[in-house]
Amino acid sequence: MKHLDHFYIDGRFVLAAGRTTRKVISPVTEEPVGTIAMGTARDVDLATAAARKAFQSYSRSTREDRLSMLRRILDLFDQRAEAFAQLTTLEMGAPISFARNAQIAGSRAHIADTIRILEHYAFERRSQRTVLMMEPVGVCGLITPWNFPVLQIVTKVIPALATGCTIVLKPSEYAPISPMLFAEVLHDAGVPAGVFNLVNGDGPTVGEAMSSHPDIDMVSFTGSTRAGVAIAKAAADTVKRVHQELGGNSANILAPDVDIETAVTKGVLGAYRNGGQSCTAPTRMLVPRQLHDEAVVVAKRAAETVVVGDVNDEATTLGPVMNDRQFERVNAMIDEAVREGATLVTGGSGRPSSLNRGFFVRPTVLANVTPTMGVAREEIFGPVVSLIPYDGLEEAIRIANDTPYGLAAYLQCRDLVLAKEAASRLRVGQVMINHPAWDASAPFGGFKQSGNGRECGEYGFEAFLEIKAVGGLHEG
């Protein structure tokens, strides 16, 4: 049992005595694995004051000093990688192999990529007769989700540190244990007092206080579209910068020329990644109508290869969804789809028959789904794939774009000229053609109600910079 009865403020782990506490529930066992103290607006005030004071000196730190600090962070992160993986499995139920090879390995890759960018980034440049100075935006309020509890912290905190910003972090109250280990890494790496602060709590209390705080210059949030709207409204009165990475319901278009066995199998397994709890999960598989029935057979076979169960077994490929609310929601969406006329190919609502506890959802495939059904309109965040037949690529693109979201899309097509043209018409922030290798430096973010701004790579780095135009320095 992990007792997180402290916050990290102004370079110290501060006892949060007298605060309301909350149990951290394992989605595998449905039993408590820890308790956390829940912060208040007063805690946000203290953390923000520390960050504001530290900004005066840290914003003027040298590139070399920040690089040395980030390299120490990376070294300590590597030393504790297995501990991070074990905690990720404990608090959110990610299978240990996925925790190690994706959640934590991906986090490491983002730290290393930020170091690479900082080594060569031009903080001062000339544009015609004007000198442009790229300066840290200020005190940043960072609000992170539970589905990638370490990686999503890394993609915000590390570039903020690299650019000279100071930070108040609120991790998800559903997965707060690994974030506290991350705070220990930063502390041990010698991050100056006040530069990084962590306050646990919920959105309506701590999140709202951060979003509306007059001394926080920027809020970066990853989570649901509903919460993103509330944060933007709370931030409006202080006219702070707001970056949001919100929901998605990504289309996976299979062109008529694909190898159906390979394309469908990769699409199904990709949708089940992280228990389906990824905002870019390719949950809507758009299939040429003449290939639909063949795709159903392949999708069923792929889904039934998934290993559900002991998350500490390296052979397990699918863990539970995060909590009881998510478990009930995913199952309700499956049942609703069947009532609306979708064909249940495999899976269905309820736990797998081999399990009697935990928020495990059966790996599910639905066929003959239409674009108006709930599973085709809403974010699912569970291991569910919907096969949607289409007639012609024009209709496929229209269906893919006919959603409030615009985070990601996938396209399986042998004709890369056609694929590039189709990608240019998809209203999303990221298009993945033929399942390419993951690129830590690719900018990540969406169109429409999937948010604004970008994380990762150089664009994510620049999210934490302001541009100052200085005239009169031109020579000649």
pTM of the model: 0.97
pLDDT on residue 222: 96
pLDDT on residue 476: 52
Asked if residue 94 has pLDDT above 60, the reply is yes
Alpha carbon distance 222, 145 (integer Å): 6
Please pick, among 165, 279, 413, 456, the residue that the annotation labels catalytic. Answer: 279
Asked if residue 155 has pLDDT above 70, the reply is yes
Confidence category of residue 474, pLDDT binned at 50, 70, 90: confident
pLDDT on residue 121: 98
Asked if residue 161 has pLDDT above 80, the reply is yes
Q: Exposed/middle/buried for 24, CB within 10 Å: 0-12, 13-18, 19+?
A: buried
Alpha carbon distance 384, 362 (integer Å): 8
The mean pLDDT of 93-103, rounded to a whole number, is 98
Helices (H), 352-430: 374-377, 393-401, 416-425
Query: Cβ of 472: how many Cβ atoms within 10 Å?
Result: 7
Element housing 250 (H / E)? none
Asked if residue 408 has pLDDT above 80, the reply is yes
pLDDT in tens, 8-32: 999 999 999 889 999 999 999 999 9
pLDDT in tens, 119-132: 999 999 999 999 99
Q: 168 Cβ partners below 8 Å, 6+ apart? A: 44, 47, 48, 51, 139, 140, 141, 142, 197, 198, 199, 210, 216
pLDDT on residue 475: 65
Structural domain boundaries of the chain?
A: 2-246+450-471, 251-441
Q: Which CATH superfamily is domain 251-441 in?
A: Aldehyde Dehydrogenase; Chain A, domain 2 (3.40.309.10)
Q: Any catalytic annotation for residue 245?
A: yes
Asked if residue 337 has pLDDT above 60, the reply is yes
Amino acid at 220: S
**Quick check: do 2-246+450-471 and 251-441 share a fold?**
no
pLDDT in tens, 262-321: 999 999 999 999 999 999 999 999 999 999 999 999 999 999 999 999 999 999 999 999
Task: Name the CATH topology of 2-246+450-471.
Answer: Aldehyde Dehydrogenase; Chain A, domain 1 (3.40.605)
The mean pLDDT of 206-228, rounded to a whole number, is 96
Alpha carbon distance 183, 215 (integer Å): 22
Buried b (16+ CB within 10 A) or exposed e, 35-64: bbbbbbeebbebbbbbbbebbeebbeeeee
pLDDT on residue 4: 83
Please pick, among 91, 208, 245, 455, the residue that the annotation labels catalytic. Answer: 245
The mean pLDDT of 414-425, rounded to a whole number, is 97
Alpha carbon distance 462, 453 (integer Å): 10
Which among 145, 121, 149 has a CA at the least distance from the CA of 134?
A: 121
Q: Any catalytic annotation for residue 279?
A: yes
pLDDT on residue 309: 93
Query: Cβ of 120: how many Cβ atoms within 10 Å?
Result: 8
Mean pLDDT of the chain: 96
Confidence category of residue 452, pLDDT binned at 50, 70, 90: very high
pLDDT on residue 1: 57
The mean pLDDT of 148-175, rounded to a whole number, is 98
In terms of phi and psi (left: phi > 0; alpha: psi -120 to 50; beta: otherwise), the region of 171 is beta
pLDDT in tens, 176-189: 999 999 999 999 99
Query: Cβ of 324: how many Cβ atoms within 10 Å?
Result: 12
Q: 373 Cβ partners below 8 Å, 6+ apart? A: 336, 337, 340, 341, 342, 386
Structure tokens that stand for 279 in this block: 């905002």
Structure tokens that stand for 233 in this block: 């409204």
pLDDT on residue 187: 97
